Amino acid sequence: MVVVSFIPDLAMLVSDYTPHADAVGVVALLVMHVVVAVAAVFTFRTILPLGAAGK
């Protein structure tokens, strides 16, 4: 699902909607999405151990 969040970021490079959007900014957004996804999965697996509920 993280790949889906890349679509608007990559669209910023080719559209004129966001002025001054450069490759460095877009790469920073891509990296941010990956870091947030990893942190969310880690947190959810730590706090909400759904596999342990059935034991």
- Give the mean model confidence (pLDDT) for residues 44-51: 81
Total number of domains in the chain:
1
By residue range, what is the domain housing residue 30?
A: 2-54
Q: In this predicted model, which residue has the larger pLDDT, 48 or 49?
A: 48
What is the per-residue pLDDT across 3-26, written as a single tens digit (0 to 9) for each? 998 999 889 888 877 778 888 989
Check pLDDT > 70 for residue 51: no
| CA–CA gap between residue 29 and residue 34 (Å, rounded) | 9
Segment 35-48 shows an average pLDDT of 92
* Long-range pairs of 1-10 with CB within 8 A, sequence gap ≥ 24: 1/37, 2/33, 2/34, 2/37, 5/33, 5/37, 6/30, 6/33, 9/33
